[in-house]
Amino acid sequence: MSIWSRITEAISALTSGEGLSAVFEKLRSPPERSVAFAIAVIALGAKMAKADGHVTRDEVTAFREVFQIAAQDEAGAARVFNLARQDVAGFEDYATRIHAMFADEEKTLTDLMEGLFHIAMADGFYHPNENAFLERVADIFNLSNQQFRALRMRFVPASRSDPYSVLGVDPAQSLEDIRRVWRQLVRENHPDAMMARGIPAEAVQLAEKRMRDINRAWDEIQKEAA
């Protein structure tokens, strides 16, 4: 059964009058967590799309890029998106429920934030309201300011690129220590490791950009040290 069939089942299980936010209470254990992850990115993405006042075709395309949505599954994804937009619950309620589900899995929350940044930048413009939205979500997720800045540097061209921040290291650390951090990040972001965290296979391509950014940062640091 595809993840979109499972998402349709999860949405259909909501009782009359329940908002989409209630679905997160029903998906707390594997394998349902991968369904919850997909719903979380789409639902928060829908709330974020309202932050800059409009939904663009590029943002819709970004959802397809994150999840490799097949033509036959687009209706299911659109249903989640529209339910989130219409839900009276605010994005902070969504983010709080999602954090409760993944509170012990910081890397999964970071994966989710990456999906949101990808969607935010789909139209080529990082709106100040999107920045405020993402800052608040990161705060609810208990991600540090350093973690948020590192994400923003990787996705927002206007942000100053700092390879040390991308790897989460201090420039004062030895090259060998930084190498160890880089190797650990490479291991943690292997597709198998991501799926073990509950990231649906359809979204594992999120790791492709992250791996490029991690390796590019390491290359820049090596060149600087040479």
Q: Tell me the average confidence (pLDDT) per consecutive run of 10 residues in the chain, 226 residues long.
A: 72 71 68 74 81 60 64 72 76 88 84 86 84 95 90 80 84 92 87 73 69 89 85
Q: What is the pLDDT of residue 193?
A: 78
Nearest to 156 by CA among 188, 182, 121, 122: 121
What per-residue confidence (pLDDT) applies to 180? 94
Q: What pLDDT is attached to residue 111? A: 84
pLDDT for position 219:
93
Considering the entire predicted model, what is its pTM? 0.74
User: What pLDDT was estimated at residue 68?
Assistant: 63
Closest Cα to residue 141, out of 103, 182, 86, 94?
Answer: 103
